[in-house]
Chains A and B, each alone.
Chain A
Amino acid sequence: MLIKKIVSVFTSLKLTCTLLACAIVVVFVGTLAQVDDGLYAAQAHYFRQWIIVGAHLFGREIPFIFPGGYLIGVLLLVNLICAHVYRFQLTTKKIGIQLAHAGVILLLVGQLATDMLAREMQMHFSEGQTKSYSESATDYELIFVNGDQVTAIPSKLLKPGDELKIDSLPFTIRVKTFWKNSDVSFRAPMMQNAPPIASNGVALNFDFRQLPDVKTTDEKNIPTAIIGLTGQNGSLGDWVVSDWTGDASLVEAVQNSYDQPLGADMAHNIASQLVAPQSVEIDGKKFIFVMRPTRIYNPFSLTLLKATHTVYPGTDIPKDFRSRVELENSKTGEKREVEISMNHPLRYDGLTFYQYQMDAGQVAQEAGRVPSSVLSVVRNPSWLTPYIGCAMVGAGLLIQFLSHLIGFVSKRKAK
């Protein structure tokens, strides 16, 4: 009896309508919330969420409890599958409706796959530079490099108090502190007199401090950790590892911030000290370590040949952003030039390279900067599912309507 009741709930059209109505509310509220919270925080709070507790709208906290995107999606999927199984009849009469349902199921599963598997990275390069990797804009890793071997530890594993023992490293990493967001300041004369926060490396010349996490897409968290390394014969010392030292754009920002008060040469010296490599030597092996944006290496490389930023004559309105790159794959021997521009991405090896940002044209020229380009690098193995799903839904509905229309027309003719 209970089972029958459950089945009737999960196969009911009422549940579908309720869930779709909920989805409309979540999309509406979640979209409005992006004004205050920013894209990533709103996505995490409303869409990648089972239950939404509280909403932040128009600068106010609103008491609000509602099913989140994950819960609505999963219930819709269960509802559809149950209805599909329960009402499924393999007859030509019903084939259209079955196809449309299967299409919607594919859309839902495809979206889940995108959420779990898709990765959006970035590739920054200046003209003449070659890159064989892309970097994350939101994730970080602590890497230890010994010769050509790189051991990459995602920053999510750096939990204060944890000890990490990794097979490829002859020492234990003790995480003393991990700050998701931090700031850096040069230990300038008259400014800081407290002892350095770690006894080695960059901490001797720079102070690091925790900052509150950022919420908007305009800002980014810059993680810093204090780690202690312990070899077989005891402690090797403490170091600070920070994205401040491993991210070229941040180092440039630090240098620029000291440029005006201290002069270009001194600002450059400060930046050079910030990026001075930190390393530890154990058993004759030298390990250089740094925290940096998570990298994914590709079996091919791209060289930026030319970045073009054109504007409409007499205005500053952008007309075109265009990156001419050389693609080289040593494994296949492939070597060709490709133009990447707005709406004309490069698709290669499961990756899609979109034109994302650009520093070229007159502005860069006047400032004396080498033109540079940022490509958005997207890996989405399920990118085809929305196309197939929509085609199935469209075909299903077409079959359904046509069969009804033909039946109706033939009935009238018969009369």
Chain B
Amino acid sequence: MKTSLICTLAATLAILSTGCDRDNVKVYHVEKDDTATTPPPAAAPAAMPTTMPAGLPVPDTSSLPKLKYTLPDGWLEKTPTELRVASFGISENGKNADVSVIPLGGMAGGDLPNVNRWRGQVGLQPLADADLQQLAEKVEIAGQPADLYDVSGTTPGSGDAERIVGVIFHRDDATWFFKMTGDADLVEKQKPAFVSFLKSFQFGGLAAPSTMDLSQLPPSHPAIPGMDASNAPAPAVDPGNVPTWTIPAGWQPAPLSQFLLAKFSIITADGAQAAVNISSLAGDGGGLLPNVNRWRAQLGLAPIAEEDLANLATIDVSGGKASVIDISGTDGRTGKPARLVGVVLPSGGQTWFYKLMGDESVVTQQKDAFTKFIQSAKYPDAH
């Protein structure tokens, strides 16, 4: 009998000791270790899940500089979640409303789809583009005009009266969404407080966009050698060695992003905006045609063919002859009419890209200044 007892104990000990082996470092050889994880293809179909699986994260906003605003009475600050940089709750007599502030880099999808998304959330039919402007109420955010959309309906499913007051504000290369949603009566009551909250809002301290600037490459951009964002190279020119220009009056230097050498924003008294971007790429920068078509795509225009390039105007500049493209269309990011004047200058083994883009009126007004600005350039290696 002792034998069986010893056997049982020995088996138990053996089991326990083997079980501990799991937490040791292992070294082994494999023919091919597919270490690299590959993301799924970009052409993600619409039916794919677009939300994070349960338990997945909320972006870190702890490092975000403090936004400044006057908190209306009765609003409770909440921890920002998901893409929010500020979040508030309003509760009154058992009714609730939620206020969110979400900035998205550049391509936020345009105003119309976003307003229609809000309309869908309260069970309303989508609007046509022409109706959007009629619906917009003018409000002020940090001294700049913005469009407010007030939609009310019922929550599909519960049938409760719900109202969404949303504001879309375009600032530099980002689109900011301010949204109050909740019980229809409470939202209506809080609307004046929401408007004064917007007025008090300040973007103080928000520094330069880091790393990749999402707005630089639209979803439809053609492949440009050496400019693939997934393999983003450093600019071909040492940033400390950029050209010098005579900067026209009214142009404000703006924060740079990865692909840019310089950037200026132009804001007129009535709030109309345009931006000037200057970048440079080695060699032919991927070729004139893909770049022209990339710009055309930004305004929702169809690509042109190689032979159409011959029709492009040229201007004389210090580095040689530059091609000029001047197009008007609809800005894919804002859904608003926009004009783009682009100048491509191959010079000194690299290609310089100048882009003036924004509200039609501002671009028209600034085009001459833009041309003079380019002609004033002194390139570092031209001496």
Contacts and interface: CB of A to CB of B under 8 A. Distances in A.
B372 interface: no
Contacts of B58: 183, 185
B15 A191 contact: no
B42 interface: yes
A207 B60 contact: yes
B42 A264 contact: yes
A113 to B, nearest CB: 5
B13 to A, nearest CB: 11
A247 B50 CA distance: 18
Contacts of A154: 22-25
A281 interface: no
B56 A166 contact: no
Main secondary structure of the interface of B (DSSP, over half): loop
B25 A193 contact: no
A287 to B, nearest CB: 11
B106 interface: yes
B190 interface: no
A112 B24 contact: no
A211 B42 contact: no
A77 to B, nearest CB: 8
Contacts of A214: 55
B337 interface: no
A219 interface: yes
Interface in B199-227: 206-215, 217-221
Contact of A275 (B12, B36, B57): B36
A205 interface: yes
Interface residues of B, number: 84
Interface residues of A, number: 90
A252 interface: yes
Contacts of B44: 255-256, 259, 264, 267-268
Given A190-B209, A246-B37, A116 B19 contact: yes
A266 interface: yes
Interface string B1-34: 1101100100110011011001111111111110
Nearest to B209: A189
Interface in A239-283: 245-248, 250-257, 259-269, 271-277
A152 to B, nearest CB: 5
A57 interface: no
B39 A271 contact: yes
B210 to A, nearest CB: 5
Contacts of B311: none
Contacts of B62: 194, 209
Contacts of A276: 230
Interface in A89-116: 102, 105, 109, 112-113, 115-116
Contact of B109 (A247, A261, A274, A367): A261
Contacts of B47: 366-368
B29 A150 contact: yes
Contacts of B59: 183, 185-186, 191, 207
Interface string A69-103: 00000000100010011001000000000000010
Contact of B63 (A184, A192, A254): A192
Contacts of A33: none
Interface of A: 77, 81, 84-85, 88, 102, 105, 109, 112-113, 115-117, 143, 145, 148-154, 156-157, 164, 166-168, 182-194, 204-205, 207-209, 211, 214, 218-220, 222, 245-248, 250-257, 259-269, 271-277, 288, 290, 292, 297, 366-369
Given A117-B15, A193-B210, A251-B37, 12 more contacts: A112-B12, A143-B33, A185-B60, A188-B209, A219-B55, A262-B104, A264-B42, A269-B212, A269-B230, A292-B35, A297-B30, A368-B45
